[in-house]
Amino acid sequence: MTWQAICDNPLFRDMPFKFETNRWGRIEMSPASNRHSRYQGLIAKLLDRLLADGEAIPECSIQTADGVKVADVAWASADFLRRHGVANPYPEAPEIVIEILSPSNTLAEMEEKKELYFARGAREFWICQEDGLMRFYNNHAQLMASALAPGFPARVELTFA
């Protein structure tokens, strides 16, 4: 089944899960929580505020060597968006790819995804831990802060007002 066919299939509408495929085209699902969704929204807002020449994309599908992976948030430059528009999935990774850890994820899984995204052209990979602490990477090492989004906080804070 192609990625577009999965997206168009009415059986998968309104499912409270994030879908990805593995290298054999099998569907993998992981549950989403409201905490996870709020981090997605907050990170996307911060990116849009800090980086003017592009767009934050929640649930960004990217074709990788291990199937289609869906980044929790990505930031794509205007140039990337001109080249790829609304391709589904994107054939290459946007400049910044962000995954938000949840109880169903492991750091080992994130390490694998990081390498898959870098192999598809990502320039930075970020992990948002369950407490909001951010980890930033380029394809060589962990960074103290993002080089592409200067000023992005080391911790994102959810408010409960």
In total, how many domains does the chain have?
A: 1
- pLDDT score recorded for residue 104: 76
**Is 21 inside a domain boundary?**
yes
**Is 150 inside a domain boundary?**
no
- pLDDT band at residue 37 using 50, 70 and 90 as cut-offs: confident
CB 20 within 8 A of CB 28: yes
70 lies in which domain range? 3-140
**Is 17 inside a domain boundary?**
yes
CB 29 within 8 A of CB 19: yes
Whether pLDDT at 11 is above 70: no
The pTM of this model reads 0.84
**Is 152 inside a domain boundary?**
no
Q: What is the pLDDT of residues 77-125, one digit of tens each?
A: 999 999 999 999 999 999 999 999 987 788 888 999 999 999 999 999 9
* Inter-CA distances, 133 with 39, 54, 69, 76, 157, Å: 11, 24, 22, 22, 9
Q: What is the pLDDT of residues 133-152, one digit of tens each?
A: 999 999 999 999 999 999 99
